[in-house]
A and B are shown apart, each in its own frame.
Chain A
Amino acid sequence: KNEVEQSPQNLTAQEGEFITINCSYSVGISALHWLQQHPGGGIVSLFMLSSGKKKHGRLIATINIQEKHSSLHITASHPRDSAVYICAENTGNQFYFGTGTSLTVIP
């Protein structure tokens, strides 16, 4: 059974802090997705990774294929970053989702 595990489940940070969310997956992937889901329910795709590192604004995503591990970093966190962050493993013909990390950034 494919498993995608995220940690931590919940995270509270002060505005400006550096945040890291971790994701481990169990089988070989075609791509690893990071998604953001706001309290209203809408989902935004943040990154897709198959190797290395990607950066978009204050967000950085990295992946280590050998260790089957990915991290999402948020620099200079802001209250608008408060959301649920979900990683998803795409094996090419299947998707497996983590349970999400609920992030709250306090002003």
Chain B
Amino acid sequence: DSGVTQTPKHLITATGQRVTLRCSPRSGDLSVYWYQQSLDQGLQFLIQYYNGEERAKGNILERFSAQQFPDLHSELNLSSLELGDSALYFCASSVDGTPEQPQHFGDGTRLSIL
């Protein structure tokens, strides 16, 4: 058990809809990362937060947004969903978000767009 909790585990929805994925980091970790893993593109970095502030941005689409709240949990919002958004979405956390610190991964949310 990594200590990182992601909900929901599975999500099935339709094109054009909006969903929110939630991540609770490991106790004591201040930084949260979001990743997308799809069959055709593999793992991709989306965005990183540290103590409520955006720290780094990767290949995150404009239809997607994220935030980290004062209690350090994070949410990833996906809107105007397309079939290609079907993927596993992982959240990871680390103590201070520096490259030298290990990341602890949640079990992921599997998003299926019908």
Contact = CB atoms under 8 A, between A and B. Distances in A.
Interface in A73-90: 86, 88, 90
Contacts of B33: 95
Given A93-B56, A94-B58, A97-B42, A33 B103 contact: yes
Contact of B99 (A30, A35, A96): A30
A42 B58 contact: no
A24 to B, nearest CB: 16
Interface in A50-101: 50, 86, 88, 90, 92-100
A42 B42 contact: no
Nearest to B104: A45
Q: How large is the interface on B (under 10, 10 to 19, 20 to 34, 35 or more residues)?
A: 20 to 34
A48 interface: yes
A44 B100 CA distance: 16
A29 B108 CA distance: 26
B88 interface: yes
A95 B45 contact: yes
Interface string B24-47: 000000000101000000111100
Nearest to A100: B42
Given A42-B108, A92-B99, A93-B55, 4 more contacts: A45-B92, A45-B105, A95-B45, A97-B45
Interface residues of A, number: 24
Contact of A41 (B45, B103, B108): B108
A95 B99 CA distance: 10
B101 to A, nearest CB: 8
B42 A31 contact: no
B90 interface: yes
Contacts of A48: 99-102
Contacts of B96: none
B107 interface: yes
A52 to B, nearest CB: 13
Contacts of A94: 45, 56, 58
